[in-house]
Structure 1
């Protein structure tokens, strides 16, 4: 297929097919080198619209590639946003449904729940935090539709930021009493510590990621709504999720949570 035959609808079809058949594909930009960031967000929007048409409901937003280390490893140079739906939610203690996934990985996140609408442009970290009702721990299961998690920034934006599933801990903390830049997390796999980080790994402070999300959405005439959750981005590198090897995250003040799969 030549580049000039590619459209937003075609890209949506290709990504949905990769997801439904659990078949990783090469980056879309190899077929469509003219795919720019604005068009990639159109693809993302149509992908999520298809989920909503199928009965799912938007419950929030996620940020991806918020740490400089992850940007360097993935070969991209900026964070991105994606959508969360209720079809992606995992109950605490539930097994990840790997029969729908290609090559799942897990990363720990600081999660915000919004107490009021947050609309850009011009949102600062301080004004972003003023809109937060509570802070929780989270684990996100990501699952790129691209082979070996290899992509450019437009590719991963089109793929809804590698969204798959996520779980939010049941400990809800008032952000006023926390220094989230110092909030520590220990990540373990099958009981062995594999990484540690603090909230500073997320754009220097998770509030900056939240402000970035609000301002990024404003460029498309959108806002973060009251009651939505925001996954602020992986604090550590993502680790593979494999049967019999549970992934757990223990936070200093936000509790602990775990995901497993059969």
Structure 2
């Protein structure tokens, strides 16, 4: 795909995000789009957000668990960039009016104390480079109509990233078994789903190592202080005005988030 088309589709996704609307799946518009093309489109989309005043604060890994893969019909991990405009803190209420067709997923966030660059990064390297882990929610959102996405669509759309919420409880991954620690997700006081760290590529640390190595091949390092969202341990949760979600990770703590307003779609 030539550079004009890359910019066209990246700009189209940026405009859709800014205007809170969707566009047709990219694969319908451009059937020959490759995964490499999709990541170049993602880069253009993120460049537009950075040019508008945001900064890159981390990375996210998407489509790591079977429930999410089954829902989306996408069967390989992908990644996206986290920007300063996506950040919420526990206790904040997320305005659904700022999103299009949101769904929430519960996961573990890694905050790094050291730079980390692949290839050759192992799960133990990830643990050593991590300052602490936190329970968190990512609110995924798609600029593609009705979530009709294939892997190229979600990659181009920054791995369907919307916003994210970090819990307040910090855990030491050298003392917490993040592979076997259970996660319980509650919606409005009732259990919605349960999960375990092993559901994410065998361990959330494995998923982070995969991303470090994937980005390393592109010459992109993890930086100290960055937040890395390791991938959902829950099913995707539709959210509407008044909903409250709580995810609790065994041995670590909880993250709570509320929603208000009406999403665009």
1:17 counterpart residue number: 15
1:242 counterpart residue number: 240
Within a 5 Å distance, the mapping from 1:213-252 to structure 2 comes to: 213-252=211-250
Superposed displacement of residue 4, structure 1: 8.8
Within a 5 Å distance, the mapping from 1:44-193 to structure 2 comes to: 44-193=42-191
Superposed displacement of residue 189, structure 1: 1.1
Assess if the C-alpha contact under 8 Å between 1:37 and 1:157 holds in 2: yes
TM-score (norm 2): 0.94
Structure 2 counterpart SS, 1:170: coil
TM-score (norm 1): 0.95
Alignment partner for residue 212 of structure 1, among 210, 213, 218? 210
Stretches of structure 1 that go unaligned for 5 or more consecutive residues are none
Structure 1 counterpart SS, 2:221: coil
Residues 160-183 of structure 1, C-alpha deviations (whole Å, 9 max, x = no match): 011111111111111111111111
Assess if the C-alpha contact under 8 Å between 2:6 and 2:37 holds in 1: yes
Q: CA RMSD in A?
A: 1.6
- Go from structure 1 to structure 2 and tell me whether the alpha carbon gap of 1:41 and 1:56 turns closer, same or farther (over 3 Å shift): same
Structure 2 counterpart SS, 1:233: strand
Alignment partner for residue 26 of structure 2, among 25, 28, 34? 28
Assess if the C-alpha contact under 8 Å between 1:6 and 1:32 holds in 2: no
Structure 2 counterpart SS, 1:135: strand
Superposed displacement of residue 194, structure 1: 0.8
Superposed displacement of residue 147, structure 1: 2.1
Structure 1 counterpart SS, 2:134: strand
CA distance in 2, matches of 1:179, 1:152: 33
Assess if the C-alpha contact under 8 Å between 2:133 and 2:170 holds in 1: yes
Assess if the C-alpha contact under 8 Å between 1:241 and 1:260 holds in 2: no
CA distance in 1, matches of 2:61, 2:184: 20
Stretches of structure 2 that go unaligned for 5 or more consecutive residues are 261-265
CA distance in 2, matches of 1:219, 1:158: 19
CA distance in 2, matches of 1:207, 1:41: 23
User: After TM superposition, where is structure 1 displaced by more than 4 Å over at least 4 residues in a row?
Assistant: 3-6
2:263 counterpart residue number: none
- Go from structure 1 to structure 2 and tell me whether the alpha carbon gap of 1:6 and 1:55 turns closer, same or farther (over 3 Å shift): closer
Residues 10-33 of structure 1, C-alpha deviations (whole Å, 9 max, x = no match): 101221222222222221111111
Residues 101-149 of structure 1, C-alpha deviations (whole Å, 9 max, x = no match): 1111111011111110110011111222211111111111111111222
Structure 1 counterpart SS, 2:111: strand
